[in-house]
Homo-oligomer: A and B are copies of this chain.
Amino acid sequence: MAQGKPPVAVADGLTTRARRNRPLLVVHGGEGKGKSTAAFGLALRGWNQGWSTGVFQFVKSAKWRIGEQTALETLDRVHAETGQGGPIEWHKMGAGWSWSRKAGSEDDHAAAAREGWVEIKRRLAEQTHQLYVLDEFTYVMKWGWVDVDEVIETLANRPGHQHVVITGRGPAPRLVEIADLVTEMTKVKHPFDAGQKGQKGIEW
A1-60: which residues lie under 8 A (CB-CB) from chain B?
Answer: 1-10, 12, 16, 19-22, 24, 26-30, 32-34, 36-42, 44-49, 51, 59
Q: Which residues of B contact A72 (CB under 8 A)?
A: 44
Among A7, A27, A29, A48: residue with most chain B CB under 10 A: A48
Instruction: Give the contacting residue for A190; candidates B30, B181, B198; CB below 8 A.
Output: B181
Q: How many copies make up the complex?
A: 2
Interface size in chain A (residues, C-beta < 8 A)? 83
A74 contacts chain B at the CB level, 8 A cutoff: yes
**Smallest Cβ-Cβ distance to A198: which chain B residue:** B4
Q: Which residues of B contact A105 (CB under 8 A)?
A: none
Min CB gap A158→B, angstroms? 16
Min CB gap A123→B, angstroms? 18
